[in-house]
Amino acid sequence: MWNRSDLKVRLTLRVAAVVALCFAAISAYFLIDADRAVHARIDAIADLTAKTLELQRGKIQWASNPRNNFPDLDSVEAVMTPGLCLAFRAANGEMQQRFCGGAPGGASEPPRAFVAFYRTLFDPGREAVRPVTSRGARLGDAVVWVDPAVLTAEAWHDAGRLMAALALALPLLCILVYAALARALRPTQLVRAGLERIAANDLSARLPPFDLAELSAIRGVFNHLAESLEAALAARSELTRKLIALQDEERRHLARELHDEFGQSLAAIRALAASARQTAAQDCPTLLPECDGIARTATGMAETLRGTLFRLRPPDVEELGLVGSLDGLVAGWNGRSRGQTRFEIAFSGSFEHLAPAVSANIYRIVQEALTNAAKHAGATRVTLQVTMLDGDINLVVADDGRPNESAIRSGMGLLGMRERVAALGGRLSFDANPERGCALRVLIPAATPHQPAALEHAA
């Protein structure tokens, strides 16, 4: 794919194309100059031949020489070169004498394509004609031309030398240009490495100084953006930690209020129902069913309250450990689902040395994930896998239901999980497929870059 090819290759090919065009222009210039030189030479020879023939004719007339050797072209033999042709054409158009030099030896025959190209552009057989006069009378014309085959062969020889030079110089030039570009663009590898570190959430990445002014400008912008992004994410993480701490504190406060106020009221209702039942048993037995109904309703409300309090304020993860608290959470869901949904859990690795803040937030993430699976998916089976591998914690909550993905994504549960995962320096992804159900995947570094006091307090 040309648009994605190596920049060094693209620039090298462009330089090679420019060099080839320059060689072609130089070759064209030499061919044009050689053609002009040839025509200038045959024009000069034609002038010389005409003058010589005129002198011959004048000498014959002056000496009254009965032997008429006119025209005699042997006298201009000294100017003959390979392929050059001389002739005298009488006034009636008859060629009275014609003399041609031999073809140069060892000349290679040019290709037919070059012959057609050259003859189309330069007309190598063009004649130079000069009139020959004596005492005002026109005797004929001195005609000079060069054999087109010889002229074409000479042009091919000159062009061939240029093409040979191009064939030798062009690969060497491409190698040198590619090496120079590779050296000049070597800092771009550092830029790419810095961008990859930024993409991997390593906001401490910075670019070193560069010699090139363009790359130095990129370095300044890159480092400024990295610093700004690092500061913005640090402020966001701090705000997230405070929001999570405030949320957990509000949950504890609500749990206390429900336990102290609503729980006591339910206990009082149950006590009053028991007292009313004793009184009704003695004075009005027909009220016994109503008293029992009040007691059952109060008992059901108390059970619901206990489940709500358990979700608002789970058992102390620091005392039970992550494994024990998650086992209890899954067992509670199995008890409440009454067999409609089966919850399963599997552990791999050791979780004994996790920080309390990390364990508490993992518990909250799993709690919210199981709630979403039970509420939105309509699943018959929910599996939880918790794995410790190479210091990282992998969480996978998968179900076989048909989730309402828009409801899940637009709810506060997924947002809260993202906030907790971001506060722990991890990554979260959610996949939903009508055929295979949905899966929540969380990756949390066990040794988080910061274990904020706010989260530890919230736990």
Percent of the chain at pLDDT exceeding 90: 1
Q: Can you tell me whether residue 132 is helix, strand or coil?
A: strand
Let me know: does 233 contact 203? Beta carbons within 8 Å: yes
Mean pLDDT of the chain: 79
Let me know: does 309 contact 255? Beta carbons within 8 Å: yes
**Domain ranges for the chain:** 2-184, 199-313, 316-459
| Sheet with 137-146, edge to edge strand ranges | 95-100, 84-90, 137-146, 128-134
**Strand-strand pairing, 437-445 and 392-399:** antiparallel
Kindly give, in sequence order, each residue whose CB lies less than 8 Å from that of residue 424, ignoring residues fewer than 6 positions away.
Answer: 358, 361, 444, 445, 448
First to last CA, the chain: 54
Q: How many CA atoms lie within 13 A of 300 on its CB side?
A: 6
Please say if the pLDDT value at position 312 is more than 50.
yes
- Predicted confidence (pLDDT) per residue in 93-147, tens digit: 778 767 777 666 555 678 888 888 888 888 787 888 888 888 777 888 888 888 8
Q: Which of these ranges, 86-95, 178-187, 404-413, has the smallest mean pLDDT? A: 404-413
**Nearest by Cα to 143 from 135, 131, 157:** 131
Highest mean pLDDT among 243-252, 326-335, 406-415: 326-335
Q: What is the mean pLDDT of residues 187-204?
A: 84
Provide the pLDDT for residue 108.
Answer: 67
Q: Can you tell me whether residue 140 is helix, strand or coil?
A: strand
Q: Which of these ranges, 62-71, 245-254, 290-299, 348-357, has the smallest mean pLDDT? A: 62-71
DSSP 396-407: EEEE-S---HHH
The pTM score is 0.47
- Confidence class of residue 275 from pLDDT cuts 50, 70 and 90? confident
What Å distances lie between residue 252 and 259, 276, 309, 394, CA to CA?
10, 35, 9, 28
Q: Which of these ranges, 163-172, 348-357, 402-411, has the smallest mean pLDDT? A: 402-411
Superfamily of domain covering 316-459: Histidine kinase-like ATPase, C-terminal domain (3.30.565.10)
**Strand-strand pairing, 137-146 and 84-90:** antiparallel
H or E segment and range at residue 130: strand 128-134
Query: Which tokens in the block code for residue 114?
Result: 């070059």
Q: Is the dihedral of CA 164, 169, 174, 175 positive or negative?
A: positive
